[in-house]
Structures are given as structure tokens and as C-alpha cells.
Amino acid sequence: MNTPRAKGRAPVFGVRSEGAERLSDEGEGRGPERPEARGKVQSAAEAVADIRDGASLGVAGFGVSHRYPSTLITALRDLGPTGLTVYCNGLGQPGFPTAHMLADNHQIARLVTCFSARPGVVSEAETQIEAGEMTLEMVAQGTLVERMRAGGAGIPAFYTPTGYGSEVADGKDIRYFDGKPYVLERAITTDFALIRAAKADQMGNLVFRGGSQNFNVSFAKAARVTIVEVEEDILPVGAIDPDDVHLSGIFVHRLVKIPPPPEGWWPQRPAAVVKVEAAKG
């Protein structure tokens, strides 16, 4: 039996499977661009404009500079909201457009992270933590991802053996299952997520590159609003094979095309992107 689709509801994720009907019923082409698709593509300043003082946000990125959403972080620094709660694997390398830029600008009040310090020079974040200006919660890397995943899935909490017997477990409920101790961890949801994708179409279907897949999916699903900066040109709907989509556009609210250097930051610039831009002249 055919059930009518709710009024105004878009086809699932805007992704067209082989042989499926086109999104537009007008003529044989794709038809006019959908208003909701056009509305996702914004400038970096527009995309972060409603991040207010006291907001919570997940900031993806790995290591010292790998796949941080640098364009969005820079726009957020320029906007200047303070009292932020930031969830991240690490703030990244000081002196570069990583999440550490927000610490340099004294915008972070609470930091939930797997790495608060790295060998070498004492960072501004460490100085603020020592001074009590920024509060710190340490979390194991896998636990952070799972807490985000649980938040996105509507699971309020879960038990994990990770952290038992360490300061990470202090003050948390401990239960025994099959004779082994497990620590209760609460799920995380955030107001915003800032992530970086290699490819996107206008509906927000995303393809990630390399280690970006470690955090982006769970961070995006845990957020009320997911903002994505995109390396390659934003594609028309249907240009990305559904089998290649790492995160469906249903979880993505805003898209920002990363500008070329020097305005845009490309710490690991894909050779394919360089070749395409060179061909454009």
C-alpha cells in the first residue's frame, strides 16, 4: 500500500539511487535548484553568526593540524563569543588556525578533550587551565567518540571499562558486569558542530578524507546545528554516489566552501585539488 509523504518533506537525504526518479518532476532534467538546498550554502561569517556566548560546540580535527575546520574557527574567532564549552580530541597546534585559536582569544570557558597539552612550549590553553580561567575535563579518545555517538542516537548514558581505577572515573557510577568493573559515562549533545569535509553536494551529503572519519560523523549527529567547511566545489545533488556518502545531508545544516590560500587554510592540500585549481587558472 502506498502511504502519502508528509507535505513539504524532501525525499530521503536528497540522494538519488541508480534508476530512482529525479528530485524534480519538472521536465527531464534536474529542474530548478531546491530552495532548501540553496539555503545550506553560506559564507563562513554567516554560518557561525548565531553562535552566542555560552554555546557548546564540538570541533573536529586530529593531531596538531589534521582536518581542523580552520575557516569556521577563524570566523568564530572574529565573531568573538565567549564562555564557550568546547569538545574536541585536542585543540591542535598553537599558532595555526586550529581550535587552539579560540583559546588564544580567551573564548573557551570549559574544555572537554583527550589531549590538553603536548610536549614543548607551554600553550595558552595550559596557562588558562592552571590559572583557573578554563575548566578541564579529560576523556579517553574512544569514550569521547562514543559519548557523542550516544548523544546523537538518543542514548543517555552507557558503561565502559575504560578509565576504571583512574581519575577519569572519580565521582562516576561503577557497576560490575560478569565480574568486571565498568564506568558510567553520560552522552554528549552540543549546540553546534564544526567539521571539515572533502566533498559535499548542495543537500549536505558528505565525503570525508582520511582521519576525518574518526570524529566527524559522531560530532555531527550529536549537534543541534552542524556546520561544514568543504574542500572541493560544492556539487549538485546526485553527483555523489550514495555508496560513497559518509554522512547524510539530513545531519548537515550549513555548508561553507573553503577559499583558496592564503585566505583558506590547507595544511594537507590534496594533490587532486591543486591540479583542479591549477587547471581553472
Give percent above pLDDT 90 in the chain: 64
Cα–Cα distance, 163 to 156 (Å, whole number) = 19
With respect to residue 174, please indicate whether it lies within any of the assigned structural domains.
Answer: no
Q: Look at residue 35 in the predicted model and tell me its pLDDT.
A: 42
- Gap between the Cα atoms of 247 and 257, Å rounded: 17
Q: What is the pLDDT of residue 262?
A: 57
**Which residue type is seen at 250?**
I
Which residues make beta-bridge pairs with 174? 183
In a domain, 161, yes or no: no
CA 49 to chain CA centroid, nearest Å = 17
Strand 180-186 to 157-160 pairing: antiparallel
pLDDT score recorded for residue 105: 94
Cell of 158: 552507557
Residue 173 forms part of a structural domain: no
Got the DSSP string for 101-166? HHHHTT-EEEEEEEES--SSSPPHHHHHHHHTSSEEEE--HHHHHHHHHHHHHT--EEEESTTTTS
Residue for cell digits 568486571? 180
The mean pLDDT value of the chain amounts to 83
Can you tell me the distance from the alpha carbon of 58 to that of 276, in angstroms, rounded to the nearest whole number?
31
Measured in degrees and rounded to the nearest 5, phi and psi for residue 2 equal -85, 130
pLDDT on residue 64: 57
- Convert the pLDDT of each residue in 103-145 to its tens digit: 999 999 999 999 877 667 788 899 999 999 999 999 999 999 9
SS3 string of 186-213? ECCCEEEEEEEECEEECCCCEECCHHHH
Q: Is 201 part of a structural domain of the chain?
A: yes
Percent helix, strand and coil across the chain, each to the nearest 5: 30, 25, 50
Q: How far apart are CA 197 and CA 99, in angstroms?
A: 16
Its domain, for residue 105, covers 44-138+189-280
Cell reading at 178 = 560478569
pLDDT tens sequence across 173-200: 999 999 999 999 999 999 999 999 999 9
Provide the domain count of the chain: 1
Residue 129 lies inside a defined structural domain of this protein: yes
- pLDDT tens across 215-236, in order? 999 999 999 999 999 999 999 9
Of the candidate ranges 13-17, 74-78, 97-101, 210-214, the one whose mean pLDDT is the lowest: 13-17
* Closest to 80 (Cα-Cα) out of 60, 108, 59, 100: 108
Residue 211 within any structural domain of the chain:
yes
CATH code of the domain in which 208 resides:
3.40.1080.10
Q: Domain for residue 195, yes or no?
A: yes
First CA to last CA distance, the chain: 54
Is residue 81 included in any domain, yes or no?
A: yes
In this structure, what C-alpha cell is assigned to residue 176?
560490575
